[in-house]
């Protein structure tokens, strides 16, 4: 079986105006994450080369903040040009929050393959984890990304205190959007966050992947943040449960599995790595 690996590059970190309770980049919480307005383009290229070496097919340029403005868009495009030049076979993914149709069309024009904007949870539960912007504004950005001709990468985070009904409703909304790929994150506890909930069990996490596969059959399910935290030694059972992609390397503000460990283990399990998308 072939699986897809994606790497994340946090090109503008922290100091976000929004109050998402699950996020260490929100300026509403005091965390000791690295904060910077812009990562050097040379460093982004270096990380893209590393991602390619680590068998990644997707390379996601992420910026903290509510959305894009002209200056940020220009920077994201500049980074994309540089990465494309250095590693033309990486598929570029943009993850820059709320965006207008024109901004998304611009991203498509400079060569982005897809846009990632997570709904995070159900429409009903979202106001409990964020009050500074609406779930609907996220949903609409996803619709616009499709309209702009970008492939859609849309998912969310499980284990933030949402109910089973919320999970169902969340997946119903994803079904409506029919994303090309869908990240499944498991909430990672952090004592500084205003969200303090019990850690979910590995069995529950694997059930979530199975249910997602059942509900979103055509979508590539990508297990992202929290894989190591929630699943521990059982993290490679995710493929049997229905996942077909993972994030390789570090996440936005937390350490991930050592890529070499993932690669060795996945090869031992008989997996090969996707080098193109159909
Ligand atoms: S908008 Fe994004 S970066 Fe800002 S707090 Fe929410 S999740 Fe974090």
Report CA 129 to chain centroid distance, whole Å. 18
* Number of DSSP helices (H) and strands (E) in the chain, helices first: 9, 10
Distance 54 CA to ligand 1 centre (A): 27
Q: What is the pLDDT of residue 31?
A: 81
The per-residue pLDDT for range 78-135, each reduced to its tens digit, is: 999 999 999 999 999 999 999 999 999 999 999 999 999 999 999 999 999 999 999 9
Using 50, 70 and 90 to split pLDDT, how confident is the model at 248? confident
- Does the pLDDT value for residue 278 go beyond 70? no
Q: Which amino acids bring their CB within 6 angstroms of ligand 1?
A: 16, 18, 20, 23, 25-26, 64-66, 97
Phi, psi of 93 (to 5 degrees): -120, 135
The per-residue pLDDT for range 34-76, each reduced to its tens digit, is: 888 899 999 999 999 999 999 899 999 999 999 999 999 999 9
Q: What is the pLDDT of residue 272?
A: 86
Distance CA 131, CA 134 (A): 7
End-to-end Cα, the chain, rounded Å = 15
What is the best residue among 22, 23, 118 to mutate for testing ligand 1's pocket, by most ligand atoms within 8 Å of CB?
23
Element (H, E) at 221: strand 220-223
Q: What is the pLDDT of residue 96?
A: 97
Phi, psi of 38 (to 5 degrees): -145, 135
Q: What is the pLDDT of residue 124?
A: 98
149-153: average pLDDT:
97
Distance CA 75, CA 119 (A): 25
The pTM for the full model equals 0.94
Distance 51 CA to ligand 1 centre (A): 24
Distance 240 CA to ligand 1 centre (A): 31
The SS3 of residue 174 is: helix
259-277: average pLDDT:
86
Q: What is the pLDDT of residue 213?
A: 97
Could you give the percent of the chain with pLDDT greater than 90?
83
């Amino acid at each position: 079986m072939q699986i897809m690996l994606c790497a994340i590059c946090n090109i503008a970190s922290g100091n976000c105006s929004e109050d998402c309770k699950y996020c260490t980049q929100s300026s509403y919480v005091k965390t000791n994450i690295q904060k910077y307005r812009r990562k050097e383009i040379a460093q982004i290229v270096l990380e893209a080369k590393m991602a390619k070496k680590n068998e990644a097919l997707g390379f996601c340029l992420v910026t903290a903040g509510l959305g894009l403005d002209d200056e940020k868009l220009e920077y994201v495009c500049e980074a994309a040009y540089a990465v494309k030049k250095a590693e033309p076979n990486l598929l570029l993914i943009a993850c820059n929050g709320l965006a207008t149709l024109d901004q998304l069309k611009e991203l498509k024009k400079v060569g982005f393959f897809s846009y990632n904007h997570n709904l995070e949870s159900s429409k009903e539960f979202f106001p409990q984890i964020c009050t500074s912007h609406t779930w609907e504004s996220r949903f609409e950005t996803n619709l616009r990304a499709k309209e702009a001709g970008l492939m859609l990468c849309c998912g969310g985070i499980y284990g933030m205190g949402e109910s089973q009904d919320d999970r169902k409703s969340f997946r119903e909304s994803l079904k409506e959007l029919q994303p090309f790929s869908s990240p499944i994150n498991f909430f990672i506890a952090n004592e500084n966050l205003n969200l303090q909930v019990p850690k979910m069990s590995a069995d529950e996490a694997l059930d979530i992947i199975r249910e997602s596969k059942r509900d979103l059959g055509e979508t590539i399910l990508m297990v992202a943040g929290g894989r190591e935290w929630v699943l521990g030694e059982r993290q490679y059972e995710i493929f049997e449960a229905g996942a077909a992609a993972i994030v390789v390397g570090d996440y936005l503000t937390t350490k991930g599995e050592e890529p070499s460990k993932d690669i060795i283990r996945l090869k031992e399990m008989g997996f090969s790595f996707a080098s193109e998308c159909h």
